[in-house]
Amino acid sequence: MSAPSNPEGVTGRLVTWIHDLTWDDVPAAVRARAAHLLLDGLGCALVGAQLPWSRLATEAVLGVEGGGDAVVIGTGRTTTPSGAALLNSTYIQGFELDDFHPLAPLHSASLLVPSLLATASHTGQPVSGRDLLLAAIVGFEVGPRIGTSIGGTTMLSRGWHSGPVFGVSSAAAACAKLRGLDPAQTEDALGFAATQSAGLMSAQYEAMGKRMQHGFAARNGFYSAALAAVGYTGIDQVYEREYGGYVAVYGEGHPTDPEAIVRGLGEHWETTMAMVKSWAVMGGLHGAVQAAQALRARLGGRPIERTIERVDIRVGDVVYHHGWWPPHRPLEAIGGQMNIGYATAVTLLDGTALPEQFTAARLDADDVWHLLDRTHVTLDRSIDELPLTERFQTHLTLTFADGSTDTETVISPHGNPFDPITDDEVVAKFRSLADRVMEPERAAAIVDAVHGLEGAASIAPLVELLAGPVARALD
């Protein structure tokens, strides 16, 4: 076994922990949460596989990659491992329903499920359920720590699509673990990952490509570990290098914390911090949806579009810069899912923000735009001085035709680490998504397979359940 280039450095300590981590080192609650995060990602993939933009991506990628043995979830088709990693991630990200980390924003399941399945296909070796789960836990732990080292949520305010910036390291670390790479090889894999990190948040306005940017990260993480496995060397000590190192470059001009990459490894578990979404909108908008639901309930059935004269939303820097711009009619689905004005308006009217709220017809509906034209969003910088867990808070005020007002404040929406979506709620969400696109018996079998991963000698039965085509969720 080869040691890292500098065992005492940040990168060296990280890769040693990745290599040394065993199943018994992980608390049972963390293992269970990891399995449910994977289940949540699979539900998102199944509902995302046959969305209109996903079908375009499928034809494009399969046209380039051609055939292979790796399963493309929910399509009945196969391709190369790298092509499958790209597409399966794109499906998980396909409708803004997948998990995210609230303090170092990335969508971990969209990185880990695709890259690990691609790795299993590429190696051709039997992979047990424990193998898969332990590698996934490595990814859940590494990604947020890398993100925290360069500012976490501030990356969004600076215009980076933070998930692809942090996410290649997450996928590479997980794939290195699944391949059984030694510390030196894992260092090479992370060196490749860090140099491939990129993503622009301007993709959120209208680009289908926003759905695929985590996919590039998943594919690149898969490739990083594959290269390292054959002895192709990457950048050593990549996180702490002063010139051209990951933290130095991405954190330039801003506070950084390289030690965050290894602080608390094996003691504080980031896996339990991941937020499972309840609605099909960007994570920072969950407070707005929850506030709109509460105000709608208090309206008592009054005709909303004729009752509300003004909508005022007050949020902090992260939500404001990531989630507000004056929308123009009609919005694309991705724009609606990222825009706090649209998410609030459609929830006030419909009571929820799920796939049906982002069809072409709903995105261009007169009642929605009646409210959007009356919506005002204010940046409150005092929120940015609060503890990190409160920086996604939302204050929503409605002004009515008679001049009266009603306000709802959500400090931390349901799903946050201190009020998490329960495992039972994750299963219920999976069924609500999967039952839209497949027979209930197949959906139940997938739940059982994921719940049984800890004792499964092989993940092949689960992969087989994922492989068959599913129905179209929107059209």
Q: pLDDT of 307-339, one tens digit each?
A: 899 999 999 998 998 999 999 998 999 999 999
Who's near 361: CB < 8 A, 6+ residues apart?
none
Average pLDDT of 347-352?
Answer: 96
469: left (phi over 0), alpha (psi -120 to 50) or beta: beta
Q: Is the pLDDT of residue 183 over 80?
A: yes
Tell me how crowded residue 115 is: count the other CB atoms within 10 A of its CB: 39
Who's near 306: CB < 8 A, 6+ residues apart?
401
Q: Give the span between the Cα atoms of 436 and 424, in whole angstroms.
A: 19
Is the torsion defined by CA of 234, 239, 243, 247 positive or negative?
A: positive
DSSP 2: P
Q: Give the span between the Cα atoms of 310 and 303, in whole angstroms.
A: 14
For 114, the token pair is: 């695709």
Q: pLDDT of 193-203, one tens digit each?
A: 999 999 999 99
For 192, the token pair is: 């490749």
Q: Give the span between the Cα atoms of 58 and 188, in whole angstroms.
A: 31
DSSP reduced 3-state for 376: strand
Q: Tell me the one-letter amino acid at 267.
A: E
- The reported pTM is 0.95
DSSP reduced 3-state for 51: coil
Q: Give the span between the Cα atoms of 382 and 316, in whole angstroms.
A: 7
Q: pLDDT of 381-390, one tens digit each?
A: 998 888 877 8
Q: Is the pLDDT of residue 6 over 80?
A: yes
Q: Tell me the one-letter amino acid at 286.
A: H
